[in-house]
Homo-oligomer: A and B are copies of this chain.
Amino acid sequence: MAPLSIQTTHARPALSRERIAATALALVDRDGLEALSMRKLGADLGVEGMAIYRYFPNKAALLAGVVEVLLAELIIPPPSDVPWQQVFRDLSRAYRALLLRHPHAIPLLATLPLSDPAAARAAGAVMAQLRAAGFDAQSALKTLATITSYVVGVAQWEVGTAPFRAERGGAPFPLPPDADPYLVELAPQLAEDDCEETFAFGLDVIVRGLE
């Protein structure tokens, strides 16, 4: 065969933690979280599933790697003299945008414990921001818990109610005929609702409440 100096068989780019995690995220984005299996991921990588275990000790570690890739998309600026309200809003929106870019991965970030290194690093960076803005450590931590809970929760809510908003031009709502009367009452409002506006509403509530 050919000399294969740099693995020329179809130019498969060689495995690495980064490439595996990025491909896993792409698979999740494309087919959903439950579709991520070692064998399918291996197939996407052009490799047998077991090869992944050379880079991640188990699936939990792989998912942590995906979280790392996700959180790397979130750039948290160092403390500055910008008013904290502005920083707070910007960070919230950036996190929200990240979640909406990867809706299938939201459960991964929703149940994220602080024992995850990437989560701890991001949390530390936000804490630094808040403390520089005059929050004491206790309040900063509580505020962080509050805002992340809110942002993640709303994103989950949006994804969970997305079916009601979809196809608004065609058949109005995909309500089954035996739908709950309460739901029938709620659905039209959901369709009218602009999610971005809802998010801004709650964000305003929290910022005003913090002041």
A residues whose Cβ falls under 8 Å from a Cβ of B: 106-107, 110-115, 117, 120-121, 123-125, 127, 137-139, 141-142, 145-146, 148-150, 152-154, 156-157, 160-161, 163-164, 179-183, 185-187, 189-190, 192-193, 198, 201-202, 204-210
Top 3 nearest A-B pairs by Cβ distance? Answer: A149-B153, A124-B182, A205-B209
How many identical subunits does the complex contain?
A: 2
Instruction: Tell me which residues across on chain B come within 8 A of A179, comparing CB atoms.
Output: 117, 120
- SS of A interface (majority): helix
B142, A198: Cβ atoms under 8 Å? yes
Give bound CA distance, A152 to B209, whole Å: 19
Known contacts A185-B124, A201-B142, A205-B209; A110 and B180 CB within 8 A of each other: no
